[in-house]
Amino acid sequence: MSKKRIFSGVQPTNNIHIGNYFGAIKNWVDVQDQFDCIFSVVDLHAITVYQKPEDLRQNILKIAKTYLALGINPKKCLIFQQSDVKEHAELCWILNSIAKMGELERMTQYKDKSASHPENINVGLFDYPVLMAADILLYNTQAVPVGEDQKQHLELARDLAIRFNSLYGETFIVPEPMIKKEGCRIMGLDNPYKKMSKSAPSSYNYISLLDSPEEAKKKIMKAVTDSGSEIKFDTEKPALCNLLTIYSQLSGEIISNIVEKYTGRGYGDFKKDLSELVANFLVDFQKKFNAISDEEVQELLVKGAKKARKIAEKKMEEVKEKIGIKI
Ligand code: AMP
Ligand code: TRP
């Protein structure tokens, strides 16, 4: 029996943080043997917020290296750069014709990003979820491993697949979300009520995978904590819950065990141990990351694009036939 196909991607913007890792990429690594995996570097999504061209070029390579250094095996998974396959933009246009303004206006990420970039509320930012639907539907994707914040976009991809199928006949697989329970929403270290974000104004919000281990330790020690000093997993202690989740994701220990280990000890001890865990993780990651050359990833992306194009071209032929533009 053939394996189920999964598709996911990360934007090459700023630096990847531990939230991206726990919410998305760690999940990809864990399931790569079980599924037929396609992972993209979604550069066309990234430009919906202005990127300096020289930074973007670097960030595309950095994300691809990050996938590898975190444990994605390129022999098992297809890795490619979104803009190398023109069918993404092409299918996006076709899906635009069945997507409704109202459903896009409701998207939380669009509302958040327009609020934080009022000077650049561009059409691409609005259309972002339709391009994401095209990414997914082009590859007959059955499941999409992402963090919690992408759930709404996935629902749109499902709705568009269903709508297209009912208008033009069975064409797209309706993809299932694959969102883990734990680690799917890592909160900011400086504000446990908002998700950790690469574009947060303060770097004390996140731990980037490329932060120096010393810097990262400092960030953990400075992370806000809740009142009281007892270590427990309690929704009334959102800052501590977040740190416990990070601890659990890094150590593989279940949260109740960690709580037990620190019973009777204060936040200080806990944070110190957590900062060591984070630092060790970063040292190991960065060693692998630095050992990968630009040439190596470039070559991998060229090969990946070739394979991705084959699948995407075939799907586009089918779509064109179905909607009546192939004579
Ligand atoms: P992005 O950086 O927006 O391209 O996100 C890449 C992946 O990381 C997506 O699957 C997101 O859902 C996930 N992600 C982003 N921020 C977080 C967070 N704070 N906690 C968990 N997952 C996240
Ligand atoms: N929108 C996703 C994010 O911000 C990235 C993305 C683009 C994606 N296309 C995708 C994720 C397709 C999964 C599948 O995280």
The domain that holds 283 is classified in CATH as 1.10.240.10
Q: How far away, in angstroms, is 46 Cα from ligand 1 center?
A: 13
Ligand 2 atom nearest the C-alpha of 109 is 4
Q: State the total domains in the chain.
A: 2
The verdict on 135 and 110 lying in the same domain is yes
The verdict on 79 and 93 lying in the same domain is yes
pLDDT at 28: 97
The verdict on 272 and 146 lying in the same domain is no
Residue to probe by mutation, ligand 1, list 6, 48, 149, 179, most atoms within 8 Å of CB: 149
Residue 185 maps to a domain: no
Cα distances (angstroms) measured from residue 281 to each of 1, 21, 207, 237: 37, 12, 11, 25
User: Is 180 one of the catalytic residues?
Assistant: no
Q: In terms of C-beta density within 10 A (0-12 exposed, 13-18 middle, 19 or more buried), how is residue 97 classed?
A: exposed
User: Is 195 one of the catalytic residues?
Assistant: yes
Residue 213 maps to a domain: yes
The verdict on 158 and 301 lying in the same domain is yes
150 lines ligand 2 (CB under 6 A): yes
The verdict on 119 and 240 lying in the same domain is no
Residue 197 maps to a domain: no
pLDDT at 182: 84
Pairing of strands 5-10, 36-41: parallel
Q: What would the mean pLDDT of 37-42 be, rounded to a whole number?
A: 98
The verdict on 306 and 263 lying in the same domain is no
Among residues 32, 80, 90, the alpha carbon closest in space to that of 60 is found at 80
The string of pLDDT tens digits covering residues 43-66 is: 999 999 999 999 999 999 999 999
Q: What would the mean pLDDT of 128-144 be, rounded to a whole number?
A: 98
> For position 151, which CATH number holds?
3.40.50.620
User: Is 287 one of the catalytic residues?
Assistant: no
The verdict on 222 and 299 lying in the same domain is no
Those residues with Cβ within 8 angstroms of residue 322's Cβ, 6 or more apart along the chain or in another chain: 168, 169, 171
The verdict on 18 and 108 lying in the same domain is yes
Q: What would the mean pLDDT of 122-130 be, rounded to a whole number?
A: 97
245 lines ligand 1 (CB under 6 A): no
The verdict on 215 and 301 lying in the same domain is no
Judge whether 96 and 322 are in contact, CB under 8 Å.
Answer: no
Domain residue limits at 23: 5-179+295-323
The verdict on 67 and 150 lying in the same domain is yes
Backbone angles phi, psi at 306, to 5 degrees: -60, -45
Q: How far away, in angstroms, is 88 Cα from ligand 1 center?
A: 21
145 lines ligand 1 (CB under 6 A): no
Residue 114 maps to a domain: yes
Among residues 153, 156, 159, the alpha carbon closest in space to that of 108 is found at 153
Residue 201's pLDDT band (cuts 50, 70, 90): confident
Residue 252 maps to a domain: yes
Q: What would the mean pLDDT of 110-119 be, rounded to a whole number?
A: 90
Residue 284 maps to a domain: yes
Residue 189 maps to a domain: no
The verdict on 94 and 138 lying in the same domain is yes
The verdict on 280 and 300 lying in the same domain is no
- Ligand approaching nearest to the C-alpha of 7: 2
Give the predicted TM-score (pTM) of the model: 0.95
135 lines ligand 2 (CB under 6 A): yes
Q: What would the mean pLDDT of 148-157 be, rounded to a whole number?
A: 96
Q: How far away, in angstroms, is 224 Cα from ligand 2 center?
A: 29
Q: In terms of C-beta density within 10 A (0-12 exposed, 13-18 middle, 19 or more buried), how is residue 281 classed?
A: buried
The string of pLDDT tens digits covering residues 255-278 is: 999 999 998 888 899 999 999 999
Residue 317's pLDDT band (cuts 50, 70, 90): very high
Residue 30 maps to a domain: yes
